[in-house]
């Protein structure tokens, strides 16, 4: 029985890798300035591959914290790319935009996966460097 659980865990992780790859391309194709500020961090089984946790971070999350950190940009991004990005994006706004495109993202995942059932996508938006809700990065 332990061997069966290990095999299932391996398959779950394989599906998560495939979902990660599919979402990487699908998110890049969406023409939305808020979604463009999201960086895909991980896809993990929640609790198995029938439902996966998609963890993203706001690339511009440190922009709002400039005043609190003595004027430093805590994102590690220096000018150039992303300087025209929307500032002050809240997690709620990011989650709302993801919810609006979730069906399309799941359809893109379905097109890439060779599975009978496509996993449900559950989104989590965090800060850069923050551990996910399960404690894993």
Domains of the chain: 2-126 (3.30.300.20)
pLDDT tens column, 14-29: 999 999 999 999 999 9
Q: CA–CA separation, 38 vs 13, rounded Å?
A: 22
- In a structure prediction context, what are the per-residue pLDDT tens digits for the chain, which is 137 residues long? 444 455 568 889 999 999 999 999 999 999 999 999 999 999 999 988 899 999 999 987 544 433 333 333 333 333 333 434 456 788 899 999 999 999 999 999 999 988 888 999 999 998 776 655 544 43
**Residue 40: per-residue pLDDT:** 96
Contact indicator for 44, 16 with CB cutoff of 8 Å? yes
**Residue 126: per-residue pLDDT:** 87
Q: What is the rounded radius of gyration, in angstroms, for the C-alpha atoms of the chain? A: 17
**Residue 89: per-residue pLDDT:** 83
**Residue 61: per-residue pLDDT:** 56
**Residue 9: per-residue pLDDT:** 81
**Residue 59: per-residue pLDDT:** 84
Q: What is the pTM of this model?
A: 0.72
**Residue 92: per-residue pLDDT:** 92
Buried b (16+ CB within 10 A) or exposed e, 98-113: beeebeebbebbeeeb
């Amino acid at each position: 029985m332990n061997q069966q659980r290990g095999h299932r865990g391996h398959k779950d992780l394989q599906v998560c890798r495939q979902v990660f790859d599919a979402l990487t391309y699908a998110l890049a194709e969406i023409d939305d300035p808020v979604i463009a500020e999201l960086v895909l961090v991980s896809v993990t089984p929640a609790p198995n591959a029938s439902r996966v946790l998609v963890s993203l971070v706001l690339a511009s999350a440190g922009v709002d914290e400039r005043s609190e950190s003595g004027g430093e940009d805590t994102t590690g991004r220096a000018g150039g790319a992303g300087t025209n990005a929307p500032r002050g994006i809240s997690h709620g706004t990011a989650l709302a935009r993801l919810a609006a495109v979730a069906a399309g993202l799941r359809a893109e995942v379905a097109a890439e996966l060779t599975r009978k059932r496509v996993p449900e996508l559950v989104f989590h938006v965090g800060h850069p460097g923050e551990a996910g809700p399960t404690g894993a990065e």
